[in-house]
Amino acid sequence: LKPYEIKDLLDLWERVTFRIFGLFKRDSRTKVGDYTRLAYMITNDNITKNDVIEEFIKIGLDYPIDNAVKELTESDCYNGWENDLKYFLYRYEEYLAKQQGENISEEIWEKIWSASPSTTIEHIHPQGPLTPSWKDKISNRQDYVDKHVHRLGNLLLLPPNINSKAGRKSFGEKKVIYKQNYLKMMDGVISKKDWRRQEIEQREKELIQFAIIAWGDPVKE
């Protein structure tokens, strides 16, 4: 395999692997025999790039992207998934930057990666008891609110400890904080006049479409 082919295949490895272990949340024993066999083939056999692609497709066959994104829909994407969420949103930021012909801010990302998820993951609609400024944005019932605040569409990243400043402030006040600690993923949030259930659902759909692009089945050339 040539160096440029190896880079392409590493990208495919990430695509299939995060789908299985990140989106489907499978443990490290999953498909271990298939990964080991493929590693042996790459190391010892005269295998082509398309052969490897075919093997990756087989490894991911039991974990199709359509089912993977169902795991993210109307689900708790925070508790127990914090580190995977950080990676998911990192890749989303990278994707948005690439669309604009730019690179992500390495300085900001070094701070985010080195910090714990609890200090970098922001709930746009806050957790906990409803305050007057957030009353009825999702519901006036706390149990119903609790089902929605951890959804993918309500979560974004902020530099360490900035999310504590945002806290339970009103949406207007939060937008000021987001603008001061800018990441491209904030554009779609800042542009909204209000933040209610429908905004959470719309952003969730956008993030799921990104996931399909980023971790969908690799296509053989």
Q: What is the pTM of this model?
A: 0.91
Asked if residue 155 lies in contact with residue 85, where contact means CB atoms within 8 angstroms, the answer is: yes
Name residues whose C-beta falls within 8 Å of residue 158's C-beta, 6 or more positions apart in sequence: 120, 121, 122, 166, 177, 178, 181, 183
Phi, psi (degrees; rounded to nearest 5) at 161: 70, -5
Rg (CA), the chain: 19
Average per-residue pLDDT in the chain? 90
Yes or no: say if 28 and 21 are a contact pair by the CB < 8 Å rule. Answer: yes
How much is the average pLDDT of 165-188? 90
Residue 155: is it exposed, middle or buried by C-beta count within 10 angstroms (0-12/13-18/19+)?
Answer: buried
Distance separating alpha carbons of residues 106 and 62, to the nearest angstrom? 35
List beta partners, residue 156.
122
Give mean pLDDT, residues 139-154: 92
Residue 137: pLDDT above 90? Answer: yes
Torsion on CA atoms 77, 108, 20, 208, rounded to nearest 10: 50
Distances (CA, A) of 162 to 26, 34, 97, 189: 32, 42, 22, 16
- Distance between CA atoms of residues 91 and 210, nearest Å: 9
* pLDDT for position 180: 86
pLDDT 10s digits, 32-77: 999 999 999 988 888 888 898 899 989 999 999 999 999 899 999 9
Task: Tell me which of 111 and 145 has the higher pLDDT.
Answer: 145
Does the pLDDT of residue 87 top 90, yes or no? yes
Least confident span in 87-96, 160-169, 201-210 = 160-169
User: How many alpha carbons lie under 13 Å from residue 49 in its C-beta half-sphere?
Assistant: 16
Residue 215 has pLDDT above 60, yes or no: yes
